Amino acid sequence: METIIVDKDLCTRCGICSAVCPMAIIDPGEESILPKVANEKAVMCLLCGHCEVFCPSQALLLNLRPEERLPLPEGAGTVSPGTIAFYLKKRRSVRHFTSDPVPKDKILEILDIARYAASGSNGQPVQWLVVHDPLKVKKIAGLTIEWMKTLLNTAHPMSGYVPMFIATWEQGHDVICRGAPHLLFAHIPEGNPIASIDAIIALTHFDVAAPAFGIGTCWAGFVAMAAFSYEPLQKELGLPKGRKCAYAMMFGHPQYRVLGIPRRKTLEVMWQ
């Protein structure tokens, strides 16, 4: 099977597909020869699609489910520097949520964006667990508190802090998931040394895209730490064998609107 499909009538033999290929496996076209990937090099293809999306004449198609190819409308995705600056600076960690559930189809829309996040060698190792049931979110928060109790009087760096969280929880305040109706877990293959970074990149895509859908997020650090090592929580999550939690995020409809941008530390940059 050919790695790339090239329309001989549209191809201008410009050589861009060959130039942008990260693995340098595309032989550039000549006057009477189309660009191609030699059979012995096909196994090196990352299926990243650079060759396809950078083709100025749209003559080339990566031979990966080609029937799903969608046209890119003129100007699609163009955002002004000012707009993107305000959008990102407005992003807040949300810790107050309404009880209204986020529809599953909306969650899937955001995750569909997140699956385009960069990953090492385009491995795309990240998969998702969405805890949609608020009662299950509450149970996970409770298991996280149980994990915190195991840290008492130990050498763990959080040992001195957990009594406050435990006491607040026992007073009826959810200091773990902040009453969020949903939790999102990114999970990755065990033994993959770079997949944890890929997961953070993908979760960041979800985090950045969510406000455009009216959704607020907050990185669930306590839940993630518990999921790394606490077996009762790992059993509750029920991830497939050979996969582990990379990190977690709480999300839902924000209770309050963002109406300003706070200050941050002065920018510090080194140049070399």
Please name the residue ranges forming H helices in 153-194.
162-170
Q: Domain range holding 35? A: 4-68
* Domain contains 76: no
CATH code at 205? 3.40.109.10
Tally of domains within the chain = 2
- Among the residue ranges 63-72, 105-114, 169-178, 241-250, the one predicted with the least confidence is 63-72
Same domain, 61 and 23: yes
* Domain contains 234: yes
Residue 143 and residue 226 in contact, taking contact as beta carbons nearer than 8 Å: yes
Same domain, 54 and 116: no
Same domain, 141 and 221: yes
Residue 96 and residue 37 in contact, taking contact as beta carbons nearer than 8 Å: no
* Domain contains 222: yes
CA distance 177 to 217: 11
3-state secondary structure of 42: helix
Give me the chain's average pLDDT, please: 96
CATH code at 19? 3.30.70.20
pLDDT tens readout for residues 91-117: 999 999 999 999 999 999 999 999 999
Same domain, 95 and 38: no
Same domain, 98 and 53: no
- Full-prediction pTM beyond 0.85? yes
Q: What would you measure as the largest C-alpha separation in the chain, in angstroms?
A: 78
Same domain, 53 and 169: no
* Domain contains 262: no
Same domain, 239 and 122: yes
CA distance 148 to 75: 50
